[in-house]
Homo-oligomer: A and B are copies of this chain.
C-alpha cells in the first residue's frame, strides 16, 4: 500500500540511490545499461518521486498561487470574468509546467490564511487579482519578497508588475462610438470608485465627453447585475432624456437592460447601451450587447510571462493590452 521510494528502486535495480535519482531527473551522464536497469525497476514498482521530499531539497515547489482577493460580498467571484481568469491562468501556467494553487481571499481571516500559506513556502510565486480597493493583501504579499504579478494594478501595491487592458482607451472607444451614432446625452454606470480599473474607465468616459463639450451623467455601481439595474433607474430619474449609457462592465449593462425594459425604453431606439468585457452572455442579451473586449487569455499569458521573467531577471514591466470594440445591436 505504501508508495515505493527511491531506495526501493535502487535496491531492485542493484544500483545506488544517486544513480536512480539521476535517471529519474533525466541526467545524461548515466550509462545506457544502468539507465535501462533503473527504468525497468521504476516501471515494475510503479515509482513516482515524492515531490514533497524533492521540494525540501531543491527549495522549489513548482506551484504558483492564484490569489483572488474579493470584498466580503464576493463581487468578483460571481463574475463570469472570474472563470475566465482562473481558466486562462491555469492553462498558461500549465504550458509552463507549473501547478496552480487557487486561493480565494474573501474575508480578513482568509487573507491571513493566504499570507501564511505563502510564507510557509508552499509556492514559488503568486499571481494576484484583487477586486477590492482597500485591500491590504497585495502589499502584505509584496513584503514576502516572492515573485508576484497582478491582473490589474493593485491599489495597495502599485509597484507590483501588472497586466491590464487599456481601460482608458476602451472607455474612449465606447463613448466615441456612441457619439458617432449621434447620441447626445450619454450617461455612464461606473464600477466601484476605489478600484483603479473603474477610475480609468470613468476617466475615459469623462474626457471623451469633455472634449466634445458634453457633460457627464454618472451613477456608481459595483460591477454586479443588480447594481447596474439600480444605477440605471437612478440615471433615468436624474436625466429622463438620456439616449445612451456606457456601463463599465457587461454584468452592469445586463442589469441596465433589465431596468430599461421595465421602464419601457427600447434599446437601441430610445437608449443605446454599451458594456465592457465581452463576456459570453453579451451575445445572448436582447438585443445583443455592444461591448469592449480585451481577451482574458492574452492577459493570463502576459501575467505568466511577467512571472517567468521575474524568476529569471528579477525585472518586469507593466503591460497594457489594447481593447477592441465589438459592435452588436444594442447601440
Q: Which chain B residues lie closer than 8 Å to A211 at the CB level?
A: none
Verify if A99 is at the interface (C-beta below 8 Å from B): yes
A window 55-85: CB within 8 A of B = 55-56, 61, 63, 66, 74, 77-80, 82-83
Q: Known: A77-B87, A83-B82. Is A52-B225 also a contact (CB below 8 A)?
A: no
Closest Cβ–Cβ distance, residue A4 to chain B (whole Å): 11
- A79→B258 CA distance, assembly (Å): 22
Q: Which chain B residues lie closer than 8 Å to A104 at the CB level?
A: 87, 90-91, 94, 100
Q: Which chain B residues lie closer than 8 Å to A83 at the CB level?
A: 77-80, 82-83, 86
- 8 Å CB contact of A102 from B78, B82, B90, B281: B90
Verify if A140 is at the interface (C-beta below 8 Å from B): no
The size bracket of the interface on A is 35 or more
Verify if A312 is at the interface (C-beta below 8 Å from B): no
Binary interface profile of A, 202-213, with partner B (CB < 8 Å = 1, else 0)?
A: 000000000000
Q: Which chain B residues lie closer than 8 Å to A74 at the CB level?
A: 87
- 8 Å CB contact of A94 from B110, B145, B261: B110
Q: Which chain B residues lie closer than 8 Å to A258 at the CB level?
A: 284, 286
Most chain B CB atoms below 10 A, which of A66, A74, A284: A284
Q: Known: A90-B104, A101-B102, A104-B90. Is A120-B51 also a contact (CB below 8 A)?
A: yes
Q: Known: A50-B121, A51-B120. Is A100-B103 also a contact (CB below 8 A)?
A: yes
Verify if A238 is at the interface (C-beta below 8 Å from B): no
The chain B residue with its CB closest to the CB of A261 is B286
Closest Cβ–Cβ distance, residue A112 to chain B (whole Å): 11
Q: Are A255 and B280 in contact (CB under 8 A)?
A: no
Q: Are A94 and B121 in contact (CB under 8 A)?
A: no
Q: Are A254 and B284 in contact (CB under 8 A)?
A: yes
- A256→B121 CA distance, assembly (Å): 49
The chain B residue with its CB closest to the CB of A255 is B284
Q: Are B120 and A50 in contact (CB under 8 A)?
A: yes
Q: Are A48 and B116 in contact (CB under 8 A)?
A: yes
Verify if A283 is at the interface (C-beta below 8 Å from B): yes
- A87→B68 CA distance, assembly (Å): 11
- A82→B83 CA distance, assembly (Å): 7
Binary interface profile of A, 280-316, with partner B (CB < 8 Å = 1, else 0)?
A: 1101101000000000000000000000000000000
- A56→B79 CA distance, assembly (Å): 38
Q: Which 3 A-B pairs have the closest CB atoms?
A: A102-B102, A51-B120, A48-B119
